[in-house]
A and B are shown apart, each in its own frame.
Chain A
Amino acid sequence: MRKVNVMVMTATLGMSVLAGCGSNTNTNNNNNDTGNGNSNAAGEAAAAAADNGAKTELTYYYPIAVGGPLTATIEAMTADFMKENPDIVVKPVYTGSYADTAVKTQAGVQAKQPPDVAVLQSTELFSLLDMDAIIPLDDFIAQEGGDTYLSDFYPAFMENSQTEGKTYSIPFQRSTIVLYYNKDRFKAAGLDPEKPPATWAEMQEYAVKLAGDGKWGLEIPVTGYAYWMLQTFALQNGNNLMTPDGKKVMFNTPENVEGLQYWVDLAAKHKAMPGGVTDWSTVPSDFLEGKTAMMYHTTGNLTNVKKNASFDFGVSFLPAQKQYGSPTGGGNFYIFKDIDKKKQEAAWKFVKFMTETERAAQWSMDTGYVAVKKSAYETERMKAYAAEFPAALIARDQLEHAAAELSTHNNGRIVKILSDSVQAALTNELTPAEALQKAQDEADQALASFNK
């Protein structure tokens, strides 16, 4: 009994201390709201300094999604920017994978402490808009020449950047899916190493020929990217999976069922591909080990494959059914809302700098990502690189047939719904038609509140 009393007392004491903390935090926030809306000390100091005509400080979040020493590359690029713009300080913060970066950024947005500028997946557009986290860039773009400025970017990359007539992000590290194939295995199987499969029918025939002896003809990664790979079949068979406003999805069309059936059959019926679900990161290892003769993978892996393949390899468009097709992928620059006007302007300068023609070309060569601007392919260094390594142009050429990556309101849930269903079909738990019908029903429900 006595103990309980003392506990109650202590608890009350604790609560009052807590309440104290709470009110303190509130006053702090209020101060910041009237000030510059950024409550970290460095930010405040920088903003205060900026008012006196001194430096503007930017926090820049960036993810890394492919191999290579990219942190060093990014830091060198920001250093160059600061040399050119002595009144701006950019603090690059490496924030892990795309998913980690999204978590950190959005947690920051909710705590009213967003980064000033960040690279996030282009598909985050609707989530960021629903959170009211980002600003449209149209005014900045108008200063640079409006449509003439934008027209240098590949249209396929802009699809995930724009909605309802406004542009919200600028493409940066972008990719598409391409077909990698092992020319030595092609020769061994009696296939022409200069003629990769161009249609679904050819792909199936080649994959069956190349499989056997404990080796596979083809691997298509699934873990984490099942929806992305399904999109390749959907686009090749006619249409994308969602409306441009991100409010409706079309998962259960006969074309998509046919596409998923084709994918399932490659493993279950033709034994040309491993059964079940294949991991995203082991597929390139399998390819480099010669365990699979062909793979579907992001062009972002090009530099990795080029460096590590001990055999002659080729890169080509994904095979077509009604048409060629691949979804785009990768990250864009976003500028955040809850920050100082001056910072937004500085952030735009930075975004513009990072995507300038020469820099885009260099970035593409360093990583394997597609350069986001057409003019980047006209630069001398890119021309020289492409002459020596023509595979670097495949993803760019395929862009003509590329379309937006799956991006909707409530995107995290929609992506999971579709990915789960695709996995259920690949593991023979459901037929492709059942799986896509289930995905459609669940997705309709998840999008219902955005269609009011």
Chain B
Amino acid sequence: MKRTRPWLLLISKMKASLRRNGFAWLLLLPSLLFLLLFTFYPILLTLRLSLFQADLSAPEPVFTGLDNYRTMFQDEVFHKVMSNNVLFALGTVPLGIALALLMAVFANKALHGRGFMRSAFFYPTLIPMIAVANIWLFIYTPEYGFMSRVLSWFGVNDINWLGTPGLVMWAMILMIIWKEAGFFMIFYLAGLQNISKELYEAAHVDGVSRFTVFRRITFPLLMPTTLFVSIVALTNAYKLVDHLMIMTRGGPNNSSNLLLYYIYETAFSFWDQGMASALTVVMIAVLLLIAAVQFFGLDRRIHYN
């Protein structure tokens, strides 16, 4: 009996696989290269730099091991930034998704002005974030801003939305929901149109109530969309930064500071690149965790058509 060496077996297996998938890999190669070059390679560099003291007091980076992480976990601002970000995610994601679903069902059913309705809902998505931030800066202005005008009809005056620690995060959350819900609506609209009409017809024949139809047919069959949207929404909650630059610079006293803005400050205003890298590593970990929980936790409970 001829004994095959394991490595020979491996090579022959690889050959077979290459014959079968080689062309596909060739097609993927350019994207893969860019992914390596602009995603994985920088991540590795960041990971490495996070172990160094690389700030203005160090002419050449000094290896300090986990010092940056130790300092980070003792840093009050870091704790505040992390809890702000959790609040921001909890505030924007469920409400944003619920609103998007509501708008999608509405825009899908609306008999009159369907096109108008859709573009009205989608419109905020098209405006660049910087412009949005500038518009809302004035909506939130005390005294003559839109928000203050509306509230003054009810006898409420002088609310400094962006200048009060307890209010500023809610002001941001409201703005982001307004900005993002229309974007998520588009995915739900597509999802709604993919649901087979026969299901609805069958339900109609059986005389099932509209609420039950939504609860038992529409909503479950939209779960793949919901999964996708919630991943996008959650990662967005950690990626948003431009509006802070314009509206609050993370203030007052860090009450609206979010992780990515803090990374920006650390890197480009404090010039502490070691710490900025360590913070970035934390952010990558958070994003990976979010994606993993959603994929492995939620994906199993989803019905696909």
Contacts and interface: CB of A to CB of B under 8 A. Distances in A.
B106 interface: no
B248 A223 contact: yes
Nearest to B26: A10
Contacts of A449: 57
Contacts of B160: 274-278
A6 B14 contact: yes
A3 to B, nearest CB: 7
A6 B268 CA distance: 40
Interface string A307-318: 000000000000
Contact of A429 (B10, B41, B59, B253): B253
Contacts of A103: 268
B163 A5 contact: no
A362 B268 CA distance: 34
A420 B269 CA distance: 14
A285 B137 CA distance: 12
Interface residues of B, number: 45
Contact of B163 (A2, A278, A416): A278
Contacts of B29: 10
Nearest to B142: A274
Interface string A182-219: 00000000000000000000000000000000100000
A103 B269 CA distance: 8
B158 A274 contact: yes
A277 B165 CA distance: 9
B157 interface: yes
A410 interface: yes
A286 interface: yes
B41 A18 contact: yes
Contacts of A274: 142-143, 158, 160, 163
Interface in A415-439: 416, 419-421, 423-424, 426-427, 429
Nearest to B138: A282
Interface string A7-42: 001110011011001000000000000000000000
A427 B251 CA distance: 11
Contact of A277 (B18, B55, B163, B269): B163
Interface stretch (B32-40, B188-196, B282-290): B32-40
Given A132-B59, A275-B160, A286 B33 contact: no
B13 A5 contact: yes
Contact of B251 (A214, A277, A282): A277
Contacts of A420: 77, 251, 253-254
Interface of A: 1-3, 5-6, 9-11, 14-15, 17-18, 21, 99, 102-103, 106, 127, 130-132, 214, 222-224, 274-279, 281-282, 285-286, 289, 291, 409-410, 412-413, 416, 419-421, 423-424, 426-427, 429, 449-450
- Leading 10 A-B pairs by shortest Cβ distance: A276-B163, A277-B163, A2-B17, A412-B269, A449-B57, A423-B252, A276-B160, A277-B252, A423-B253, A130-B56
